[in-house]
Structure 1
Amino acid sequence: MTERPDQPPITSPRSERVRKVAALAGRSARRKQQMFRVEGPQSIRSLLAHRADLAREVFTTARADAAHPELADLAREAGITVHEVEDQIIRAMVREDAAGKTSDGATAARTTAAGANPESGQPSGTLMSPQGVLALGRLPAEDPSAAVAAIAALPSGQPLTVVVLHEVRDPGNVGTLIRTADAAGADLVILTRTCADPYAPKAVRASVGSLFHLPVVTGAEIDEVLEALRSAQVTAAATSGYAQAELFTAELPSRIAWILGNEAHGLDQRTLEAAPLSVRIPLAGHAESLNVHTAATVCLFETLRRRQAGE
């Protein structure tokens, strides 16, 4: 383990350094500090292995270091400082507010009411630390023109999948959708400016490292994205309960961009009409619709299935 020579070890959960890390739950603090936090060994492993250029510091307990020694090795190879701290320091970095929620609004994971938690051994009533390890990363700049540039940089003349999130407001949904896009082999994820921040702690946790596995571009304008997709010969596709074509029988182009809308009302009519392709996911039961993540999963893995089958 190494400490920066100009920074003393962190020994107090009330220190200014700890408070700054905890404040990164808020978007304004992330923008001010130009930093975001990553919690848990799997996400940190992905950060260090795939986007070490974003990594700044790693904080770990002795127990977490013993359980995941590869994290310190990866950090050392990338020239990233690793700080060994007590578990109370990690907990304070993701501390609860007075309402019993983490500062990004997610309900805190609590220990059992009587005694210690059987898995963590922590006393009851405390916020469970993220498996004893946390990292800080440099917040990428939000560039409204980045989406158009990313689409223009896609390889031409070969199959690909793009995922566009438009007005998806819940950071947990954003992170989960990025994870699903990664699992389905997507080439690019684009978020319009009205989406939740993918670098919010809840979103980073929900992505479980996928945020660092594929290009994720934020701050886009949907009209510019649709035009750029047309120019790159990528077909924008949307789901609608009123579409005539069914997903499982419709012809899907080899270069496709799935446009996914708001949790409550889906895509607005203007965006639906602008998408060259609209399909309906057939529902066999009495449910009227699917949530955005389930719909995305069905569409993305149907795309993957056909590609692997050569259809």
Structure 2
Amino acid sequence: MSVPLTAGNTRVKEARKLSRRSVRTERRLFLADGPKAVEGAARLPGCVVEVFVTPTARAAYADVLVAVEQVTVVDDRAMASLSDSVSPAGLVAVCRHLDVPLETVTAGRPQLLVICADIRDPGNAGNVIRTADAAGADAVILAGRSVDIYNPKTVRASVGSVFHMPLALVPDPAAAVAAVRDAGCAVLAADGAGEVDLFEADLRGPTGWLFGNEAWGLPGHLASLADHRVSIPIHGRAESLNLATAAAVCLYTSAASQRR
């Protein structure tokens, strides 16, 4: 067996540069950290460029690595330099970008779409992608100045869903709303001050949910583009729900209505 590569190895150092968004964008590559992410990436033909793995992880995750052509063994220090986890699992994949054009996700009569406008927290973004996947949504659109979907924390929080949930990146949230409406979906803005109660709304038809920033929600000009503003009733003393929880309630309510 070859000697594991060290943190000073050129290939390891080049992969480590993908921790920076600018490098990820330029190279159209990103790092997928941990067995769930690597397994999801390995199932997509052409997605994985290379997997870096420690000797221990190579033995532990042999079933995950069997589908990977290029497996490179590294030592523990090299792995620590590639992973942003506190306790790295021991395998990190270099993957090609996955996003598709907006026209792709709005084609073919979608039933449930998600637009995230200016969400900044990578954990929230990953959780929304994971929830959309679980609820059977057709795609997630990250619009405006949203967090990079290839941020390692976003990829990890999605628990593999970034690899099988169609994702589109759109600079202009208003353009995303227009495209979703043109695809035949009613656009519903999740808004605590909305005029429609979520549990009284008719959600049986094709729907595009619009979610805003974690701290300040949707700006008025963007919320006004939606067909309706929909609120989740608060029955207790909590001021509001966080973004990931609100998205889960809205998406599962839509999914249940569409399946009746």
Question: How far is the alpha carbon of 1:226 from its aligned partner?
Answer: 1.7
Match of 2:96 among 135, 138, 144: 138
The question of whether the paired residues in 1 share the 8 Å contact of 2:5 and 2:73 is answered with no
- Residue-by-residue CA offset, 1:164-223 (whole Å, 9 max, x unaligned): 110001122111111111111111111113111000111111111100111111134222
Report the 3-state secondary structure (helix = DSSP H, G, I; strand = E; otherwise coil) of the residue aligned with 2:19. Answer: coil
* Structure having the higher Rg: 1
Query: Percent same amino acid among aligned pairs?
Result: 35
Structure-2 separation of matches of 1:278 and 1:254 = 16
**What corresponds to 2:5 in structure 1?**
11
Match of 2:57 among 45, 61, 64: 64
Give me the TM-score of the superposition, normalised by structure 2: 0.93
Q: Between 230-239 and 61-70, report the one with greater CA deviation.
A: 61-70
**What corresponds to 1:177 in structure 2?**
128
Paired AA for residue 179 in structure 1: R
Structure-1 separation of matches of 2:168 and 2:174 = 15
Paired AA for residue 104 in structure 2: A
Structure-1 separation of matches of 2:14 and 2:167 = 25
Match of 1:23 among 17, 22, 30: 17
Paired AA for residue 233 in structure 2: P
Report the 3-state secondary structure (helix = DSSP H, G, I; strand = E; otherwise coil) of the residue aligned with 2:192. Answer: coil
* 4+ residue segments displaced more than 3 Å: none
The question of whether the paired residues in 1 share the 8 Å contact of 2:6 and 2:75 is answered with no
Question: Is residue 91 of structure 1 aligned with residue 80 of structure 2?
Answer: yes
Report the 3-state secondary structure (helix = DSSP H, G, I; strand = E; otherwise coil) of the residue aligned with 2:177. Answer: helix
Structure 1 gaps, min length 5? 4-8, 95-101, 103-107, 110-127
| Matched residues, number | 260
Report the 3-state secondary structure (helix = DSSP H, G, I; strand = E; otherwise coil) of the residue aligned with 1:302. Answer: helix
1:1-311 → structure 2 map (5 Å cutoff) = 11-49=5-43, 51-75=44-68, 80-94=69-83, 102=84, 109=86, 128-129=87-88, 131-140=89-98, 146-147=101-102, 149-153=103-107, 155-156=108-109, 160-308=111-259, 310=260
Q: Between 298-307 and 28-37, report the one with greater CA deviation.
A: 28-37
Q: Call closer, same or farther: CA 1:230–1:240 in 2, change over 3 Å.
A: same
Structure-2 separation of matches of 1:173 and 1:25 = 19
Q: Call closer, same or farther: CA 1:229–1:33 in 2, change over 3 Å.
A: closer
Report the 3-state secondary structure (helix = DSSP H, G, I; strand = E; otherwise coil) of the residue aligned with 1:295. Answer: helix
Q: Between 215-224 and 179-188, report the one with greater CA deviation.
A: 215-224
Structure 2 gaps, min length 5? none
Paired AA for residue 23 in structure 1: K
Q: Call closer, same or farther: CA 1:10–1:20 in 2, change over 3 Å.
A: farther
Paired AA for residue 202 in structure 1: K
Paired AA for residue 203 in structure 1: T
Please provide the CA RMSD for this pair.
2.0
Structure-1 separation of matches of 2:73 and 2:12 = 14
Structure-2 separation of matches of 1:32 and 1:229 = 28
Question: How far is the alpha carbon of 1:273 from its aligned partner?
Answer: 1.0
- Residue-by-residue CA offset, 1:39-75 (whole Å, 9 max, x unaligned): 00011111111x2322100112222222222222111
Paired AA for residue 75 in structure 2: E
Structure-1 separation of matches of 2:10 and 2:59 = 27
Structure-2 separation of matches of 1:179 and 1:151 = 17
Paired AA for residue 40 in structure 1: G
Structure-2 separation of matches of 1:212 and 1:285 = 37
Structure-2 separation of matches of 1:305 and 1:33 = 40
Paired AA for residue 64 in structure 1: A
- Residue-by-residue CA offset, 1:124-174 (whole Å, 9 max, x unaligned): xxxx22x11110012357x8xx21x12441x23xx7110111000112211
The question of whether the paired residues in 2 share the 8 Å contact of 1:235 and 1:253 is answered with no
Structure-1 separation of matches of 2:47 and 2:248 = 28
